[in-house]
């Protein structure tokens, strides 16, 4: 029997979920997926400047697990940079602080636990169907009242109203 994968503790909500080379159409690029827990290992090492032992403790995993996660992340980033691939940040097995749905910024996943906002291990798709939000929630323009579906992983505040150009809010 395979040992279940342990969820990693994530203490940072990353709002930008996609990077691509400048001047290239996204549809023409091969895509690399970096999970939320892989991004957290990268952030702890290179932004917070934590040693592997301290970072592993913060993510509540063994140091060797942390080291493998970080190495996998570095390989993916190197592949994307050297070979001109886009990087999508989503998925993974992680838990956010609070366990009350707030996460570190008050907008974390419901229940405080997440497996990639709809993406489960073994599912290589991006949600239910291409273009499907699956959440039933909406983003609304506070200026003109225009509404559109909310896409998980993209904060409404980062979406501009197509009618008046103002930042949207969650409806």
Q: Of 55-64, 104-113, 161-170, give the range with the top mean pLDDT.
A: 55-64
Q: Is 10 exposed, middle or buried (0-12, 13-18, 19+ CB in 10 A)?
A: buried
The whole-number pLDDT of residue 71 equals: 96
Write the pLDDT tens digit of every residue in 34-73: 998 899 999 999 999 999 999 999 988 999 999 999 999 9
Domain boundaries along the sequence of the chain: 8-114, 136-171
Instruction: Enter the pTM of the model.
Output: 0.55
| DSSP element (H, E) containing 28 | none
The whole-number pLDDT of residue 41 equals: 93
For residues 92 and 8, is the Cβ–Cβ distance under 8 A? Answer: yes
Check residues 127 and 9 and name the one with the higher pLDDT: 9
- Residue 45: alpha-carbon gap to chain centroid: 18
């Amino acid at each position: 029997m395979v040992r279940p994968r342990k969820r990693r503790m994530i203490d940072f909500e990353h709002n930008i979920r996609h990077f691509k080379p400048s001047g290239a159409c996204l549809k023409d690029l091969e895509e690399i997926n970096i999970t939320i827990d892989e991004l957290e290992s990268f952030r702890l090492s290179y932004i917070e400047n934590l040693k592997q032992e301290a970072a592993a403790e913060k993510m509540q995993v063994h140091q060797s697990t942390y080291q493998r996660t970080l190495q996998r992340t570095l390989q993916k980033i190197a592949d994307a940079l050297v070979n001109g691939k886009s990087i999508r940040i989503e998925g993974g097995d992680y838990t956010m602080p609070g366990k009350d749905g707030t996460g570190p910024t008050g907008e974390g996943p419901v229940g405080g636990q997440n497996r990639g906002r709809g993406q489960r291990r073994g599912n290589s798709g991006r949600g239910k169907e291409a273009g499907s939000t699956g959440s039933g929630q909406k983003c609304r323009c506070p200026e003109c009242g225009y509404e559109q579906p909310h896409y998980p992983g993209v904060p409404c505040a980062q979406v501009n109203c197509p009618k008046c150009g103002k930042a949207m809010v969650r409806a």
